[in-house]
């Protein structure tokens, strides 16, 4: 950003201040924009993946990149409690990716699209000078007025997540550090390369009618929870000892001397859902959800480990 550095989120605020949004439409500031359409709301989002920033050709197969490109976008619809209906894919391929790489990319993209039954309905194809650029637009729907926003958290709510945190960050470390692919390490790598967006869970959570705020975990809870707190005007206590952490990650962290809590709270791309609801929601859904803290008055996150205050080093991933 040259000399006036406002950061990634400051820049988005600047963009937002330049545009008037028509009444009844929700624009910038959540996982999707929300546009009323008859008795439904349309949920629209777009996410970009760049070679060298989001993936390395040397570390992920083309199929994996295709999978993940679709997955991160489906996850943004899941984050609102929506049903994904269609994606649109724009690609910029340098010469050396225009043949086999591109075809295998589409294979991975098609594989996940089939699982979630979401058709690809359009896009754009261009050449690129050096790096691969990928962008997806996604359209989802939910019944009118039922989308779950980041702004719905209330004091007294319990904070939940839908699954293990930190596996993806552990998998990324394993790739970057070239760890031997033991079965445990391989599982972390798989979670990094082939995330499963929580689409069914997101819809089921919306249908309970009990969820306050919801979003997906793309940058790590240390960063993502702050978005819920800011949008809702509340604070939080998070109990690090309650975070769901896989035995794979625990074991690999022990073996490698990695900091488990930094990875679980600061590491991104697990694409689990982060949401707030009354504590007894645990008994009313037929899939695992994990309480990790509570919403309190005030602002910011107070991290605790076994009853003691804890200072996290990381604040999650920000692009600039």
Q: Which residues bind ligand ADP (CB under 6 A)?
A: 12, 15, 28-31, 47, 76, 218
Q: How far is CA 36 from CA 32, 144, 217, 308, in A?
A: 13, 7, 26, 46
Closest listed residue to residue 109, CA positions, set 133, 74, 79, 139: 74
Place of tokens 């859904």: 285
Helix/strand/coil percentages in the chain, nearest 5: 35, 25, 40
Asked whether position 157 contacts Mg ion by CB under 5 A, the answer is no
The torsion angles phi and psi of 207, rounded to 5 degrees, stand at: -65, -20
Whose Cβ is closer to ligand ADP: residue 48's or residue 296's? 48
Asked whether position 216 contacts Mg ion by CB under 5 A, the answer is yes
Name which position in 63, 76, 270, 272 contacts Mg ion (CB under 5 A).
76
Q: Is 5 exposed, middle or buried (0-12, 13-18, 19+ CB in 10 A)?
A: exposed
Residue 57 C-beta: closest distance to Mg ion, Å: 25
Tell me, by CB under 5 A, how many residues bind Mg ion. 5
Residue 198 C-beta: closest distance to Mg ion, Å: 12
Whose Cβ is closer to ligand ADP: residue 179's or residue 205's? 205
Asked whether position 30 contacts Mg ion by CB under 5 A, the answer is no
Q: Which among Mg ion, ligand ADP, none contacts residue 272 (Cβ within 5 to 8 A by kind)?
A: none
Residue 138 C-beta: closest distance to ligand ADP, Å: 10
Q: How far is CA 153 from CA 115, 150, 233, in A?
A: 32, 7, 8
Asked whether position 31 contacts Mg ion by CB under 5 A, the answer is yes
Q: What is the dihedral of CA 139, 143, 148, 154, to 10 degrees?
A: 170
Distance CA(10)–CA(6), nearest Å, equals: 5
Residue 309 C-beta: closest distance to ligand ADP, Å: 28
Q: Which among ligand ADP, Mg ion, none contacts residue 21 (Cβ within 5 to 8 A by kind)?
A: none
Q: Which residues bind Mg ion (CB under 5 A)?
A: 31, 76, 79, 216, 218
């Amino acid at each position: 950003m040259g000399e006036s550095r406002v950061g990634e989120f400051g820049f988005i605020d600047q963009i937002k201040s330049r545009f008037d949004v028509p009444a009844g439409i929700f624009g910038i500031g959540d996982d999707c924009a929300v546009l009323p359409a008859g008795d439904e709301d349309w949920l629209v989002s777009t996410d970009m993946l760049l070679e060298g920033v989001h993936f390395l050709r040397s570390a992920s197969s083309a199929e994996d990149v295709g999978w993940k490109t679709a997955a991160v976008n489906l996850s943004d619809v899941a984050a609102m409690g929506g049903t994904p209906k269609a994606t649109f894919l724009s690609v910029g391929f340098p010469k050396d990716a225009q043949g086999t790489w591109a075809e295998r990319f589409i294979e991975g993209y098609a594989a996940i699209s089939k699982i979630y039954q979401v058709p690809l309905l359009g896009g754009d194809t261009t050449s690129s000078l050096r790096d691969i650029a990928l962008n997806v637009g996604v359209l989802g729907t939910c019944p009118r007025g039922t989308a779950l926003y980041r702004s719905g958290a209330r004091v007294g709510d319990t904070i939940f997540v839908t699954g293990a945190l930190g596996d993806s960050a552990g998998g990324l470390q394993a790739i970057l550090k070239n760890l031997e692919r033991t079965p445990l390490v391989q599982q972390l790598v798989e979670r990094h390369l082939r995330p499963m967006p929580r689409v069914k869970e997101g819809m089921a959570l919306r249908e309970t009618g009990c969820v306050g705020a919801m979003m997906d975990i793309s940058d790590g809870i240390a960063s993502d929870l702050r978005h819920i707190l800011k949008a809702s005007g509340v604070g939080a206590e998070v109990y690090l000892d309650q975070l769901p952490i896989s035995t794979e990650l625990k074991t690999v962290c022990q073996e490698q001397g990695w900091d488990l809590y930094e990875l679980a709270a600061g590491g991104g791309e697990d694409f689990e859902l982060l949401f707030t609801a009354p504590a007894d929601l645990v008994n009313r859904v037929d899939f695992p959800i994990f309480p990790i803290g509570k919403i309190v008055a005030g602002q910011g996150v107070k991290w605790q480990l076994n009853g003691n205050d804890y200072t996290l080093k990381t604040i999650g991933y920000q692009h600039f």
